């Protein structure tokens, strides 16, 4: 894939996950090529990669955002939790002192922000640091795809209620404590508990949106 297609792929992926494109409107190569001021070839290549990622699917006039049923979303949550639990276990075994510093820094920043979006960003950076601490590129790449599919299918909505992040921050702290102690089973179980709570919260938000 050339540099034009790669850049368009990254921008389209970013736009998809940010909710820029309406769910019920097709992504048409000709229109997108005009938007990006390039030929249709790199746009088609980028769209094909997004289809491989499971974010869009081909239709008669281009591509549509992939719509997932409740059962499929639950399958994605289950796969994400299993892989992230394996990551936590591996991180407990392989983490370095530098990895621990990065994890602690991200966790500290999550407690210093007031805006929900900023807290969420810090916690996402914490998960990125944990995956780096696992030192397993294959699991990280698979999780990156699952994260994107879940974000598109069940987007997280910020909560402005007091104490909304107390539980997830405490869960991250528990996982980090197990990783620091090289407790592989403890890290794995703590991550599974964290994902179960996050899954239930995301599904509840999704149900409210469709109510």
How many domains are there within the chain? 2
pTM of the predicted structure, to 2 decimals? 0.88
% of the chain residues with pLDDT over 90: 77
Question: For 77-109, what is each residue's pLDDT tens digit?
Answer: 999 999 999 999 999 999 999 999 999 999 999
User: Could you tell me the residue range of the domain that residue 37 belongs to?
Assistant: 3-65
The CATH number of the domain holding residue 101 is: 1.20.120.530
Q: Which helix (H) or strand (E) holds 62?
A: strand 62-65
206 and 147 co-located in one domain: yes
74 and 151 co-located in one domain: yes
* Regions of the chain short of the pLDDT cut 70: 1-2, 159-162, 209-211
127 and 203 co-located in one domain: yes
**Which residues, other chains included, contact 170 with Cβ-Cβ below 8 Å and sequence gap of 6+?**
none
61 and 74 co-located in one domain: no
């Amino acid at each position: 894939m050339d540099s034009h297609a790669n850049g368009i792929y990254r921008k389209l992926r970013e736009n998809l996950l940010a909710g820029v494109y309406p769910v019920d409107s097709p992504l048409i190569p000709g229109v997108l090529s005009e938007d990006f001021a390039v030929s249709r070839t790199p746009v088609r290549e980028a769209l094909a990669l997004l289809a491989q990622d499971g974010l869009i699917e081909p239709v008669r006039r281009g591509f549509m955002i992939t719509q997932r049923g409740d059962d499929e979303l639950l399958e994605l949550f289950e796969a994400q939790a299993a892989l992230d639990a394996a990551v936590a276990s591996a991180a407990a075994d392989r983490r370095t002192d530098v990895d621990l510093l990065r994890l602690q820094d991200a966790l500290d920043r999550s407690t210093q922000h007031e805006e929900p979006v900023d807290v969420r960003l810090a916690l996402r950076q914490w998960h990125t640091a944990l995956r780096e601490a696992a030192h397993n590129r294959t699991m990280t790449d698979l999780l990156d795809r699952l994260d994107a599919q879940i974000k598109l299918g069940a987007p997280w909505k910020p909560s402005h209620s007091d104490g909304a992040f107390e539980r997830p921050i405490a869960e991250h702290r528990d996982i980090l404590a197990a990783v620091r102690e090289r407790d592989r089973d403890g890290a794995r179980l703590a991550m599974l508990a964290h994902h179960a709570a996050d899954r239930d919260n995301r599904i509840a938000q999704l149900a409210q949106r469709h109510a």
